[in-house]
Amino acid sequence: MTRVKRLLAAGLACASMAACWPAMAADAASMRFGLEAQYPPFESKGPNGELQGLDIDVGKAVCAAAHLTCTWVETSFDGLIPALQGRKFDAINSAMNATEKRRQAIDFTSVVYRVPSQLIARSDSGLTSTAASLKGKRVGVLQASIQETFAKTHWEPAGVNVVSYQDQNQVYADLMGGRLDATLVLAPAGQTGFLSKPDGKGFGFVGQPVRDDTILGSGIAYGIRKGDKALREQLNAGIAKVQADGTVKALAKKYLGDIDVSPK
């Protein structure tokens, strides 16, 4: 049943259709996105406290194309799925990859874009993104991220010490302080959030991007509650429009440079 049909059906329960329709129409045209605003260039806060980043700008474009009025609600990354399930917001817009594990708990829209995950370490460390190279080393990852799952699956059993954090900025702080040897991140986030800053001097990407589509997912998409077919269709229509008209590509170039973000 389409959202409009559901609204019409709900209206039959009202004593007066004219009285209840405006409120329902307003609900149908508004949506709340959930995010963690500590992951530039995808989502962060500017000096004025306003949200900024690739996901924010693409999200605004998708909402406009889907005829939705959108707002954003902040929470920690590892709390996004529980908060979505608890109806604190309607969709997740926080650089979240659509993975098989996450699909057990929530549904996803079509993929908006896709970016690689890479290892950051001191440029002269000699480390590579393999279990053999990282054995005995301490690798920091963002808690509840796909990078955490990858590291715990592929590296931890081989003797790599995987350390999880709620805040990626704390990962960078411990990396600079020598308490970590490396961190696994989405490449653009690592570039903008650390390597391009003065604190990132002497560090760089080491080894090749890691690969495992089962864990790392098919790409960045919006997470929605199980069975919310109407919202998924509405968002998918908006995503298709901003991909077709070049908006996603243009915004990705603005924030990520020449990284190819097209879904594959």
pLDDT tens sequence across 233-255: 999 999 999 999 999 999 999 99
Q: How confident is the model at residue 95 (pLDDT cuts 50, 70, 90)?
A: very high
pLDDT of residue 185: 96
Q: What predicted TM-score, i.e. pTM, was given to this entire model? A: 0.69
CB-CB neighbours of 116 under 10 Å:
16
Is residue 30 a contact partner of residue 68, using CB atoms and an 8 Å limit?
A: yes
What mean pLDDT is reported for the chain?
89
Reply yes or no on domain 117-216 having CATH 3.20.20.70: no
pLDDT of residue 6: 40
Which backbone phi and psi does 53 adopt, to 5 degrees?
130, 175
pLDDT tens sequence across 3-58: 434 433 434 434 333 333 233 333 448 999 999 999 889 999 999 999 999 999 99
Check whether 2 has a pLDDT greater than 90. Answer: no
Q: How confident is the model at residue 258 (pLDDT cuts 50, 70, 90)?
A: confident
10 Å CB burial of residue 20 (0-12, 13-18, 19+) is middle
Residues of the chain with CATH 3.40.190.10: 39-114+219-256, 117-216
Q: Domain 39-114+219-256 sits in which CATH superfamily?
A: Periplasmic binding protein-like II (3.40.190.10)
